[in-house]
Amino acid sequence: IFLEINQLPRLGETIQGEGGYTLCGGKGSNQAAAAAKVGADAVFLGQVGNDPEADVILKNLADTNLDVSKVIKRSDVPSGRAYIMLLPNGDNSIVIVGGSNMKWETDITDEFKETIRKGDYLILQREIPEEVNIIGAKIAREAGKMVVMDAGGMEKPISKEMLNNIDIFSPNETEFERVFNISAKSEEEILTHVRRFQKEFPHLKFLIKLGENGSMYVPPKGDVIRVQACTNIPEGKAIIDTTGAGDCYTGTFVAALAEGKEIKAAMTYASAAALLCICVKGALPSMPWKEEVTAILN
């Protein structure tokens, strides 16, 4: 649910909104749809609730070429929601109400497990319980698959068990500080902390999203790879809404890897996709199609 406002309200303040609208989104669905729209053979594993919005969500996801046949419909909770306060410059603040996203059983279904084993990559995010992510990650790694986690979602710090079962961890600057409960105000400080964490988790690669400053990939050994943010805004377009940009980056980055691109090329591809994303209102509707990303790169 998007609320267009001119400024964020202060504590106790009531302000007049400029407009509002409802669109489909959510970190997991955004990332899966982003991958599917640029050509990945993507399957979405998740849950929706017992409300009319559930059918709308599934139809919107299916329209992105995403396989939603495995999605569970729960009868005891509503679908998850996000309330997004959108400022005129495209910046936003978001409140999440988890609903069915947070109401999981103690294990995942056998169908989910088999689907994970059949895939090449598993993308995770933190809008579902961490124990569910850990189960999925362990299954993927036992099957020799790559696990990529977008850090967005949950406020609390990430556990060591989770980090031990991830191949690539991808936060933005704010998420990096939050999940590790640290302060890092520059790329140099971020890199210092990453190298410290990699001493404890020597398998872990970091893909840091730096907004207008691009992105940075830090392997445990070897050179840091930096890619500048794409600035080639298509004619007639403008930056209007940053919602979903990080999800778009993560989904298209993994899709590019699955297509056979090297890390730097995948980062460049994801940067172009993320630029297109922020030129469209909403989250799910703003994920670009492959032809659009190819055109901006060319």
Contact 256, 248 (CB under 8 A): no
Rg, Å, the chain Cα set: 18
What is the rounded CA–CA span in Å between residue 257 and residue 145?
13
**Residue 140: which of 169, 160, 112 has the closest Cα?**
112
What is the rounded CA–CA span in Å between residue 48 and residue 74?
6
Contact 138, 165 (CB under 8 A): yes
Query: Catalytic: 247?
Result: yes
Q: Is 48 helix (H, G, I), strand (E, B) or coil?
A: strand
Candidate list 51, 63, 150, 247, residue with the active-site label? 247
Percent helix, strand, coil in the chain, to 5, is 40, 20, 45
What is the rounded CA–CA span in Å between residue 207 and residue 200?
17
Catalytic positions, written as ranges: 247
